């Protein structure tokens, strides 16, 4: 097995996947997504979705990994059906690095890996003051960031903001 095959066929952390994405052509990475789901590029949308569903049934612990593969395929093929199915999965609370990237973008954080939790909170509060009509969007982004960072500080702030929106003041 070549080095490339080992890299693209293993389940790695998002930082490794990010490095691989910068190093290898997009076509190799998309093929990797098809392979992981157990399909080939020349198959129907229904079969791809069924393969995703089967992988999730067989290995529910890695559902976010499989969803990311499905999102890669949907994005690369511009398949409306696959993208809509993937969005429904996200609506169920299954998050991938794509949602994390969107959350950082909402808060306008360019280099989030260089910012600690207190820095993220400072930016969050600043955005809420500057654009109060988008506060719900900022709170959702903060919750998404907390989901991935597993930060107690960010989680407490996100929870407090949510409770305030519901009229329950802490």
> Which pLDDT does position 168 carry in this prediction?
53
Each domain of the chain, given as residue ranges in start order, spans: 3-94, 98-165
pLDDT of residue 123: 94
- The pLDDT of residue 29: 64
Please provide the average confidence, as pLDDT, over all residues in the chain: 83
Q: How many Cα atoms occupy the beta-carbon half-sphere of 13 within 13 Å?
A: 3
- HSE value, Cβ hemisphere, 13 Å, CA-based, for 102: 12
Nearest one of 109, 168, 113, 164 to 142, comparing CA atoms: 109
Would the pTM of this model clear 0.85, i.e. be above it?
A: no
The answer to whether residue 83 scores a pLDDT higher than 80 is yes
Full DSSP string of 75-116? HHHT-HHHHHHHHHHHHTT---HHHHHHHHHHTT-S-GGGS-
Question: Per residue in 90-143, pLDDT tens?
Answer: 889 888 888 899 999 999 998 888 999 999 999 999 999 999 999 999 998 999
pLDDT score, position 60? 93
> What pLDDT does 159 receive?
77
pLDDT class of 7 with cuts at 50, 70, 90: very low
Question: Looking at residue 139, what is its pLDDT?
Answer: 92
- The mean per-residue pLDDT over the stretch 40-69 comes to 94
For the chain, helix (H) and strand (E) counts, in that order, are 10, 0
């Amino acid at each position: 097995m070549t080095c490339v095959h080992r890299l693209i066929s293993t389940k790695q952390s998002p930082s490794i996947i990010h490095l691989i994405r910068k190093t290898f052509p997009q076509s190799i990475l998309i093929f990797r997504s098809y392979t992981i789901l157990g399909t080939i590029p020349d198959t129907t949308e229904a079969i791809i979705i069924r393969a995703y569903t089967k992988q999730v049934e067989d290995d529910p612990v890695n559902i976010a990994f499989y969803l990311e593969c499905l999102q890669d395929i949907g994005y690369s093929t511009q398949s409306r059906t696959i993208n809509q199915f993937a969005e429904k999965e996200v609506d169920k609370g299954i998050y991938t690095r794509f949602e994390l990237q969107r959350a950082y973008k909402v808060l306008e954080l360019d280099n989030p890996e260089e910012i600690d939790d207190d820095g993220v909170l400072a930016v969050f509060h600043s955005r809420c003051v500057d654009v109060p009509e988008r506060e719900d969007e900022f709170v959702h982004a903060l919750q998404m960031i907390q989901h991935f960072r597993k930060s107690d500080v960010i989680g407490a702030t996100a929870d407090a903001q949510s409770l305030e929106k519901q009229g329950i003041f802490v």
